[in-house]
Structure 1
Amino acid sequence: MELIVDLLPFLMFLVLTPLLFTGYPVAFVLGGVGLAFWLLAVGTGIENPNSFFLVVSRIFGGVVSKLVLVAIPMFIFMGTMLERSGVAKELLYTLQLMTRRIPGGLALSVTVLGVILAATTGIIGASVVMMTLLALPVMLERGYDKALATGTIAASGTLGILLPPSIMLVVMADLLSTSAGGLFLAAIGPSLFLALLYMLYIFTRTALNPGLAPPLAEVAKADDLSVGRVLRSFVPPVLLIVAVLGSIFGGIATPTEASGVGAIGAVILAALNGKLNFRTLQDVVERSALTTTMLFGLFVGATAFSYVFALLGGHHLILELMSATGISPWAVLAMLMLAVFILGFFFDWIEITLIILPVFAPIITQLDFGSHLPDPAMTTTWFAILMAVNLQTSFLTPPFGFALFYMKGAAPEGVKLADIYRGIVPFVILQLIGLLVLLTWPELALWLPQTMAQ
């Protein structure tokens, strides 16, 4: 009997894993497994029936009453409204004119656009679909290699999950009981480093093989690129980025308050572009509500699962197992990163985050990495950014990389899923290189939060 009691937390994962592949909503699977094992614990006398109210209280306190989570629907609204404002279309054309004589100039422009969209939307589906519709037909028309074109768009579009204001970082901050603003600061360095890796790869490959990306010098006349055009294209998104991130980093607003600033800023941009009407507003509100409902359903299910896991002594069991086997902190971190990467082939970031973080975050914070970290108190922040960089690959890795399906749905005829799969392989490798660099040099993520704290 004692053996069964000790193994209950592991049995939770054994039962959860096959059920996740059944096609049932993940929120119901997580909550259902948690409820089933709580009933099993009560039936065997391990738990008191009154502990059910502890689970309900955790859901209320951890999800319903958390003000920081208000930022999620606001950022979703901001990104969805920007998708309809026409800002990205004008910006891409201007970038195309500016880089028309550089090898792979259009692909480099798409990468820059991905960074800007990431800092203004934070919604992967919106960014990937928008850039696929705007850039992919032009790239194919200009003779770009299909794999290079699709890989560039998919990888650049997924930067929104990492570069603030990222919804994923808001969720992680809540699960880790840490500052969302601190995670935003820590994510800037790794995000820009990944974008730089993409651009170096594109420039080097197209310089060595110009046939992959023919130059675009004939696209425009000399007078098409003017100071006025550049200002009209860059100023609106830059002002929105400064309003949202500047207010957070400057201590003027919390991430929750800044999300409201971003939402009203996106509405103003849509109005200035003549895109704001009742039909657009209704569509944006409906899509934002549906996305928000899905996310918060997952929060409730995952909270129930993780709390029952804790009630059954799961955290203590893992720590005891690590102590008995003598596994080093680095081995634990490596196995966890490998598990997250493999899970990314099958599940979305929100599902992985809500399963992994509540269970393993308390364990990671107790690991000692010695002098490798400039400040041991920053272990949680470093771990969160490692997770975020790792989870970015979940959008690109087949068979269930969501960015790949977003792209295939919006791509012109003639672009096959095989072309997209070929295109993302180099960028997944680049992301893994970025993860290894972050593991080796934590300062890439930690120097900015430390500098701002001084």
Structure 2
Amino acid sequence: MEWLTLNEIAVLAMFLGFIWMLFRGIPVAMALVGISLIFVLVAELFLDPNRSFFRDIIEFDRTGINYQRLNVLSGRIFGQTIKNPVLVALPMFIFMGLMLDQSGVAQRMMNSMQKLFGGLRGGLSLTVLIIGIILAASTGVIGASVTLLGVMALPAMMAQNYSKPIATGTIASAGTLGILIPPSIMLVIMSDQLAISLGDLFMGALFPGLILGGLYIAFIVIYGLLKPDAMPAPDRTEEVGWPVIKEVLLAVIPPMILILLVLGSIFAGIATPTEASGLGALGATLLALANGRLNMKVLKDVSRSTLNTSGYIVGIFLAANFFALILRRYGGDEIIEGLVLSTFDDPYMIIVFILFIVFLLGFLLDWIEITIIIMPLMLPIIAGLGLEGDIPGYDQVAEPVVTWFAILVAVTLQTSFLTPPVGFALFYLKGVCPPGVTIGDIYKGVIPFVMLQLTGLFIVFEFPWLVTWLPSVAYGG
């Protein structure tokens, strides 16, 4: 039996200690900083060859970290994160999404599309999914999208005798599309952590996100045919004519123009993602003003929520950078790389193994922790697999393999919003559900959509060109 080295024990203890702190209810950023400081103390008392009483007994591969050196490294830990220009887009996109939720655009789309699809079996579910796709491409804030769709659609679904699982599953899954379809907050963070173009990620995520939305719509149509009692058609519906179609167009065109301005300016190379995020924030504010929803209270509430969300994410950024620094001093990056590479010889199986680990972590951790902590550790592994020649567009996209891998992880992480016990979309929805809807109904409802997400993941894995084609066309003409 081969015993673990001291390095491996320390790295394992850091991860286990972090997870234990999370289960104790300690906030993520505090848990990351706390466990890092503990292991700085361990290194200083036991492992530093110049100071440790045990230096003649313990041999350690990595030393040289203590509290005194942290003063020198503080600028590196905190300064690089705060000065990162990519992260400027983060609060702008958050503001854009929150302001759109306040603008009344989604409510107008719901009212008009109900008239258009309401007479169909499963028409309300189709309405929710289409609005979810549009909101995903214009907000990217999961909690706001799920809550908004739940408040608007769930009472109407219950009044029409929809099955509770199918109603809640549709709303929860439609609301999570914003994490994948650009502009996505998660893709902004991945761009920073993997040091790849945010424009590449936005373009690469477009087709996978639309495919996932298409799978949802196909499922609802087929499910409505197989189990008509689960999604009954209403007894009375308004006749669909030009007035209804006109109302739908007037409701849909403004957010679509905003999406075109934001994503189109990025894809056409007119604006950087950071500049486009400012354009999106301004456009969402103008939409709220045009709908008569903009006032000082709304502006103040949206600004405060933006500050809180951005501060939460940046706080985790800083704490994760500190955690990663200490982990590397213990040789954690080499240990994890060696562990992953030793599992399989086939590079594609290594990617499958990593995605499986990410999927399992989604049951326990939020996507922010997984993205910020795990992705940088996986970067050297993926970059060293030598798959560039196998990925279409490799000669026109800066980092085709890493971009493809990032989108695979993004699709995988989308399941973390729907998988218990930490599926945040489930609890966002439960908070606005009527008393008769239980958490068990929501769990049952999301199961088929998790299967559809895994199907979408398989499609993107088998056809990498779905990710690389659009960036290669944009850059290669």
Same fold (TM over 0.5): yes
Deviation per residue, 1:308-356 (Å, 9 max, x gap)? 2223222223344456666442333222211211111122110111121
CA distance in 1, matches of 2:101, 2:119: 29
| Structure 1 residues 240-279: aligned runs within 5 Å | 240-279=258-297
Q: Which moved more, 1:37-46 or 1:429-438?
A: 37-46
Deviation per residue, 1:178-236 (Å, 9 max, x gap)? 11111000000110000010011100010122222122472324458445313320111
Deviation per residue, 1:109-158 (Å, 9 max, x gap)? 11010000001110001100100011111111112111111111100100
Aligned pair count reads 454
1:19 to 2:8 alignment? no
Q: 1:62 Cα shift?
A: 3.4
In the other structure, the counterpart of 2:371 is 353
Q: What is the root-mean-square deviation in Å for CA atoms of aligned residues?
A: 2.1
1:56 to 2:79 alignment? no
Which of the numbers 166, 189, 204 marks the counterpart of 1:148? Answer: 166
1:407 to 2:443 alignment? no
1:237 to 2:259 alignment? no
Alpha carbons 1:103, 1:215 under 8 Å: kept: yes
What SS is found at the alignment partner of 1:339?
helix
What SS is found at the alignment partner of 1:410?
coil
Alpha carbons 1:315, 1:363 under 8 Å: kept: no
Alpha carbons 1:80, 1:126 under 8 Å: kept: yes
1:439 to 2:461 alignment? yes
The one-letter code sitting in structure 2 at the alignment partner of 1:136 is L
Q: 1:38 Cα shift?
A: 2.7
Change (3 A) 1:124 1:212: same
CA distance in 1, matches of 2:37, 2:234: 59
| Structure 1 residues 14-163: aligned runs within 5 Å | 14-43=16-45, 44-45=47-48, 46-49=63-66, 51-53=69-71, 55-163=73-181
CA distance in 2, matches of 1:370, 1:69: 28
In the other structure, the counterpart of 1:181 is 199
CA distance in 2, matches of 1:437, 1:51: 48
| Structure 1 residues 369-380: aligned runs within 5 Å | 369=387, 372-374=390-392, 377-380=399-402
In the other structure, the counterpart of 1:453 is 475
TM-score of the two chains, using structure 1 as the length reference:
0.95
What SS is found at the alignment partner of 2:5?
helix
Alpha carbons 1:98, 1:225 under 8 Å: kept: no
Alpha carbons 1:128, 1:403 under 8 Å: kept: yes
CA distance in 1, matches of 2:200, 2:302: 29
In the other structure, the counterpart of 1:429 is 451
In the other structure, the counterpart of 2:418 is 396
Change (3 A) 1:159 1:54: farther
Change (3 A) 1:160 1:244: same
Q: Percent identity among equivalent residues?
A: 45
1:301 to 2:319 alignment? yes
CA distance in 2, matches of 1:137, 1:334: 40
Structure 1: gaps (5+ residues): none
Alpha carbons 1:55, 1:304 under 8 Å: kept: no
The one-letter code sitting in structure 2 at the alignment partner of 1:100 is G
Change (3 A) 1:394 1:55: farther
CA distance in 1, matches of 2:303, 2:388: 48
Change (3 A) 1:35 1:359: farther
Q: Which moved more, 1:443-452 or 1:167-176?
A: 443-452
The one-letter code sitting in structure 2 at the alignment partner of 1:80 is L
Which of the numbers 321, 334, 358 marks the counterpart of 1:340? Answer: 358
TM-score of the two chains, using structure 2 as the length reference:
0.90
Alpha carbons 2:116, 2:240 under 8 Å: kept: no
CA distance in 2, matches of 1:413, 1:211: 22
1:201 to 2:223 alignment? no
The one-letter code sitting in structure 2 at the alignment partner of 1:113 is I
Alpha carbons 1:298, 1:351 under 8 Å: kept: yes
Q: 1:51 Cα shift?
A: 4.2
Q: Which moved more, 1:442-451 or 1:200-209?
A: 442-451
Deviation per residue, 1:278-332 (Å, 9 max, x gap)? 1111111111111111111111111111122223222223344456666442333
Q: Which moved more, 1:187-196 or 1:43-52?
A: 43-52
CA distance in 2, matches of 1:48, 1:409: 45
Change (3 A) 1:393 1:54: farther
CA distance in 2, matches of 1:126, 1:245: 21
CA distance in 2, matches of 1:444, 1:177: 21
CA distance in 2, matches of 1:108, 1:224: 20
